[in-house]
Structure 1
Amino acid sequence: MKTLFFSAKQYDKNSFTDQNKTHNFQLEFVEEPLNRHTAVLAKGFDAICIFVNDSANAEVLDVLAEQGVKLIALRSAGYNHVDLSKAKELGIKVVRVPAYSPYSVAEHTVALILTINRKTHRAYNRVREGNFSLNGLMGFDLHGKTVGLIGLGKIGVCTAKILLGFGCKVLGYDVEEQEEVKQLGVEYSSLDNLYLKSDIISLHCPLTPDTHHIIDSSSIAKMKKGVMLINTSRGALVDTQAVIDGLKSEYIKYLGIDVYEEEADLFFEDLSDKVIKDDVFMRLLSFNNVLITGHQAFFTEEAMREISRVTLGNIASFERGGEVENEVV
Structure 2
Amino acid sequence: MPYAARSARRVEGVRMSVYSTPMRLLFTECKQDDAEFFHRAFPDCDVVTTAETLARVPDIGGVEVLSVQVHSNVGSAEMERMPKLRLIVTRSTGTDHIDLDAAAQRGIEVHNIPDYGAQTVAEHTLLLLLAVARRLHEAIAVTRAGRFDLSGLLGSDLAGKTAVVVGVGMIGERFARMAQAIGMRVLGVDPVERAEVGIEYLPLPDALPQADALVLCCPLVEETRYLIDTSAFEKLKRGALLVNTARGAIVHAPALLRALDEGVVAGAGLDVLEHEATLRGNVAPQPHEEEMLIAGLALMSHPRVIVTPHMAFYTREALLRMRDATVSLITDHLSRVRA
State the one-letter code of the partner of 2:68: I
**Superposition deviation, residue 313 in structure 1:** 0.8
Does 2:211 match 1:198?
Answer: yes
Counterparts of 1:244 and 1:94 in 2: how far apart (Å)?
36
Counterparts of 1:301 and 1:308 in 2: how far apart (Å)?
11
Aligned pair partner of 1:98 in 114, 119, 126: 114
- Partner in structure 2 of residue 5 of structure 1: 27
Aligned pair partner of 2:326 in 311, 324, 328: 311
**Superposition deviation, residue 16 in structure 1:** 5.3
State the one-letter code of the partner of 2:63: F
Does 2:33 match 1:14?
Answer: yes
**SS of the residue 1:113 aligns to:** helix
How do 1:133-148 and structure 2 match up within 5 A? 133-148=149-164
State the one-letter code of the partner of 1:30: T
Aligned pair partner of 1:112 in 98, 107, 128: 128
Gaps of 5+ in 1: 270-276, 323-329
State the one-letter code of the partner of 2:209: L
Counterparts of 2:72 and 2:157 in 1: how far apart (Å)?
40
How do 1:1-329 and structure 2 match up within 5 A? 1-8=23-30, 10=31, 13-15=32-34, 17-18=36-37, 21-24=40-43, 25-35=45-55, 38=56, 40-65=58-83, 68-182=84-198, 186-267=199-280, 278-321=293-336
Counterparts of 1:207 and 1:80 in 2: how far apart (Å)?
6
Query: Contact 1:164–1:170 (CA<8 Å) still a contact in 2?
Result: yes
State the one-letter code of the partner of 2:314: F
State the one-letter code of the partner of 1:52: V
Query: Contact 2:26–2:47 (CA<8 Å) still a contact in 1?
Result: yes
**SS of the residue 2:59 aligns to:** helix
**SS of the residue 1:193 aligns to:** helix
**Superposition deviation, residue 285 in structure 1:** 2.7
Q: What RMSD over aligned residues (CA atoms) do the two structures have, in Å? A: 1.9
Give the TM-score, by structure 1 length.
Answer: 0.87
Bigger RCO (CA 8 Å, 6+ sep): 1
In structure 2, the CA distance between the partners of 1:137 and 1:281, relative to structure 1 (3 Å rule), is same
- Partner in structure 2 of residue 273 of structure 1: none
State the one-letter code of the partner of 2:28: F
How many pairs align? 305
Query: Contact 1:268–1:294 (CA<8 Å) still a contact in 2?
Result: no
Instruction: After superposition, give the CA deviation of every residue in 1:193-243 in whole Å (9 maximum; x if it has no partner).
Output: 210101000001111111111101101100001111110001111111111
Counterparts of 2:197 and 2:238 in 1: how far apart (Å)?
28
Q: Percent identity?
A: 32
The structure with more radius of gyration: 2
**Superposition deviation, residue 19 in structure 1:** 6.3
**Superposition deviation, residue 29 in structure 1:** 1.7
Gaps of 5+ in 2: 1-22, 283-289
In structure 2, the CA distance between the partners of 1:287 and 1:40, relative to structure 1 (3 Å rule), is closer
